[in-house]
Amino acid sequence: MYGISNLVGVFRQNRTRRQSKFYIYAMQHLISKEGFEKFKAEWEQLKYVERPAMINQVQAAAAEGDRSENAAYTYGRMRVREIDRRLRELDRILDGAKIVEITAPEDGSIRLGAKIKMVDTKTKRPKEYTIVGEKEIDPLKGRISMKSPIGEALKGKKKGDTIQVTVPRGTVTYEIVEVTY
């Protein structure tokens, strides 16, 4: 983006003191190969299919005449802005991605890419989670980050271990039944 793939500069100006500050921070984040491919496919779909189609729709709506009362034109412009926003977000994700090869550790501990089956020790309800990078999370599909409360509790644990997680309703204890990669 700025010639340095893992650094982004943010320019801030303090108008009262007329001082300029340039902050640089790392934008690198871990991501699985399948997550990277998913984001890349979404970027390509938006860039080469959806955006050109919306541009054509906006041009056709603009050719109709009065733009102030033209709903198709207004919607098309709004959709193009949404697509551009998502493309910029995907650029940041893909530029700062560090692809991690997911392999099972020899000691069987839980790390990025692990698929975990566990059981609530009180209710005996099973839960399944996959540990993914921060940009790949989808809690409804059981894809959680290592930085989530459950991910933090699972880090380094093995099959047969128990963990305690603090949730809004209190503390829940889980037993790890299976760990696969």
Q: Which domains does the chain have, with CATH numbers?
A: 30-98 (1.10.287.180), 102-180 (3.10.50.30)
| pLDDT score at 167 | 84
Q: How far apart are CA 12 and CA 22, in angstroms?
A: 7
Asked whether 177 and 121 are in contact (CB, 8 A), the reply is no
Q: How confident is the model at residue 27 (pLDDT cuts 50, 70, 90)?
A: low
Q: Which of 22-31, 89-98, 122-131, 148-157 has the lowest mean pLDDT?
A: 22-31
Confidence of residue 114 (pLDDT cuts 50, 70, 90): very high
- Please give the distance of CA 176 from its chain centroid, rounded to a whole number: 26
**How much is the pLDDT for 65?**
81
Mean pLDDT of 128-147: 93
Using a pLDDT cut of 70, give the percent of the chain over it. Answer: 85
Determine how many CB atoms are found less than 10 A away from the CB of residue 174.
24
How does residue 20 score in pLDDT terms, banded at 50, 70 and 90? very low
Q: For residues 24 and 9, is the Cβ–Cβ distance under 8 A?
A: yes
Among 5-9, 43-47, 166-170, the least confident range: 5-9
pLDDT, mean of residues 96-120: 91
Residue 115 CA to residue 155 CA, distance in Å, equals: 12
How many residues are listed for the chain in this entry? 181
The overall pTM is greater than 0.75: no
Q: CB within 8 A of 17, min separation 6: which ones?
A: none
Give the tens place of pLDDT for each residue, 69-104.
889 999 999 999 999 999 999 999 999 899 988 888
